Amino acid sequence: MGGNLEPAIGEWRQCLGQGYVCTDETTLNHYARSTQPRGTRPAAVLRPQTRDEVCTVVRIASRHCIPIYPVSRGKNWGYGDACAVTDGQVILDLSRMNRIWEVNEALAYAVIEPGVTQQQLHDYLAAHGHRLWLDVTGAGPDASVIGNTLERGFGHTPYGDHYQCSAGYEVVLADGRTLTTGFGHYGNAEASYIYKAGLGPSLDGLFSQSNLGVVTKMGVWLLPKPERLLGFFFSIPEDDGLPEVIERLRELRLAGVVQSTVHIANDLRVLSARQSYPWALTQGATPLNPAVRLQLRKNAGLGAWNALGAFYGSREMVSAGRRALKRSLAGMVTLKTVNERRLRIAEAILPWLNRLGIGGRIADQLRAVRPVFELLRGTPSSEHLAGAGWRSRNERNSKSFDPLDNGWGIYWLSPVLPMTGTAARALLGIVEPIFQRFAFEPLITMTSITARALCCVLTVAYDRENPAESAAAQECYDRLFDAVMEVGFIPYRVGIQSMAGISTSNADVFWDVVGTLKDALDPAAILAPGRYNPRRFPQSP
């Protein structure tokens, strides 16, 4: 890795314009920021606006053997942010490619570019009167829809598995050619964005979590606005109630009664989104004392675990689903439901309650519920990003929850396990002692992304301005990663710090084939060297 950069810079500037090829220290430092203790530093930053410009950029990179690392908007927080896997790569920032090419109301899909954000697509649908909802993540308004899809991220609605709800990728290959997956390579195809596989081998997966091409356009499926949306919430009072609740939820998911994803967060994960670590209360001691944790949980009206999901559909479907869920969980939890009408009534009477001096608790509940409810109907929110600042001693910036703007430290590790109570109990038994050993709170969410699998997110939140704590966070993450890999709870995605460790055996044919594909499609290894390709892992220059 590492060719002749200067001639390439000159050619890129001829292609993109002087202002869109950046080599100044301020820009390079900006892209080197990370929620990890240390980010990687790019050699330059390129900002194309069109597919044809990307083709030209890639051809120049190939001719001069310069590694380029595509990012959609650089919001891959907790997994590497906008940083390449190694130092010295050229960041290919696709955020200027933000066109919405098509929205099909009847077939419920949109065709977009990688720079399109969750907020942009949401606003476009509203402004044009479309009765369609986007499935959003908790990553905030500025996150890329395509970027999250390619990392196989997930949201909240029945369309929560974003990769499965996408089709028709336009991909620039390392030699500058453009490939269209599915039916799209047939010029007269009518089903390019509505049928994922196409004819012949299905190639979408080659460009998800890979370094085999640059995705410049994609079809994403949208949720038709339902007649009814009913959010549901419940708390599991103690840890020992979690396994049986998971068993009951799996049965409902498999039966199709609950079709949305269901997020189950422990008390610490919910608290971290609402407040910073209680430094004054603990007199600076870490990790959080169990007695203090219990008191904070009670004050916030939380259980040991707290679940969120929703029913979508006709009045009859929603009512039947609510009854079935309530019946299944009877005697274990108290089911609470919310819809837009109830929220508006509560918000309308709140000023009167405040005048009577009894509105405080309801106001707190509304502040917690409203952003969550908005996520259930496809409205992006920044509120959940605040959890990344749990251990930061800096005052929270109410205008920006961007972890990089706030200098917050986080690692996210996302193991996948069977949706069984036994597996959930086993995971907690493995990871909680590791968090304790390194003096970090176990901020944990388990999400029923399918009826059969739980995607978990383990958050290591730390004070990035504290060198000792930063070093401990890195070691804690490494031990967690090794532990979940050893027992077979493999992460569904990893950060740049783990790319070299995702192959655990030299005899792993899977990664051998990935390496062979890389050699065939990108023989000079100029596209994102090291990304999800451990057999072709580079050394920093």
Annotated domain spans of the chain: 100-224, 228-338+382-495
**How far is the C-alpha of 403 from the C-alpha of 392, rounded, in Å?**
10
Question: What is the predicted pLDDT for the residue at 541?
Answer: 44
CB atoms within 10 A of CB 379: 19
Tokens 């930053």, residue?
45
CATH code of domain 100-224: 3.30.465.10
**How far is the C-alpha of 265 from the C-alpha of 488, rounded, in Å?**
22
Instruction: Classify the C-alpha dihedral 69-72-74-80 as positive or negative.
Output: negative
Report residue 56 CA to chain centroid gap.
Answer: 30
Angle between helices 51-64 and 5-16 (to 10 degrees): 160
Gyration radius of the chain over CA positions: 23
Closest to 456 measured CA to CA, from 468, 466, 442: 442
CATH superfamily ID and name for 228-338+382-495:
FAD-linked oxidases, C-terminal domain (3.40.462.10)
| Element containing residue 324 per DSSP (H, E) | helix 315-328
Closest to 220 measured CA to CA, from 292, 168, 156, 288: 168
Please, how many CA atoms are within 13 Å of residue 479, restricted to the half-sphere of its CB?
Answer: 17
Closest to 75 measured CA to CA, from 341, 405, 343: 405
> Cis (ω within 30 of 0) for the bond into 287?
yes
Say yes or no: do domains 100-224 and 228-338+382-495 share a fold: no
| Element containing residue 178 per DSSP (H, E) | strand 178-180
Token pair for 372 = 């969550």
Closest to 81 measured CA to CA, from 44, 122, 127, 39: 39
Is-contact 52 217, C-beta < 8 A? no
**How far is the C-alpha of 139 from the C-alpha of 118, rounded, in Å?**
9
Question: What is the predicted pLDDT for the residue at 358?
Answer: 65
Token pair for 355 = 């005048």
SS3 content of the chain, % helix, strand, coil (to 5): 40, 20, 40
What is residue 132's three-state secondary structure?
strand
Angle value at C-alpha 211, between 82 and 58, nearest 5 degrees: 85
Is-contact 110 219, C-beta < 8 A? yes
CB atoms within 10 A of CB 200: 8
Full strand arrangement of the beta sheet holding 178-180: 100-104, 109-112, 214-221, 166-172, 178-180
Q: What is the DSSP letter of 465?
A: T
- Residue 188 CB contacts under 8 Å (≥ 6 apart), including other chains: none
Angle value at C-alpha 285, between 411 and 469, nearest 5 degrees: 35
Closest to 36 measured CA to CA, from 471, 390, 530, 458: 471
Report residue 203 CA to chain centroid gap.
Answer: 23
Each residue's pLDDT, cut to its tens digit, for the chain (541 residues) gives: 457 899 999 999 999 999 999 999 999 999 999 999 999 999 999 999 999 999 999 999 999 999 999 999 999 999 999 999 999 999 999 999 999 999 999 999 999 999 999 999 999 999 999 999 999 999 999 999 999 999 999 999 999 999 999 999 999 999 999 999 999 999 999 999 999 999 999 999 999 999 999 999 999 999 999 999 999 999 999 999 999 999 999 999 999 999 999 999 999 999 999 899 999 999 999 999 999 999 999 999 999 999 999 999 999 999 999 999 999 999 999 999 999 988 888 778 767 767 767 666 666 676 778 888 999 999 998 888 888 999 998 876 667 788 998 999 999 999 999 999 999 999 999 999 999 999 999 999 999 999 999 999 999 999 999 999 999 999 999 999 999 999 999 999 999 999 999 998 888 999 999 999 999 999 999 999 999 999 888 854 4
Number of H helices, E strands in the chain: 16, 19
pTM for the predicted model, two decimal places? 0.94
- Residue 306 CB contacts under 8 Å (≥ 6 apart), including other chains: 233, 234, 235, 236, 264, 265, 266, 267, 270
Please, how many CA atoms are within 13 Å of residue 367, restricted to the half-sphere of its CB?
Answer: 12
Is-contact 541 87, C-beta < 8 A? yes
Is-contact 484 431, C-beta < 8 A? yes
| Element containing residue 424 per DSSP (H, E) | helix 421-437
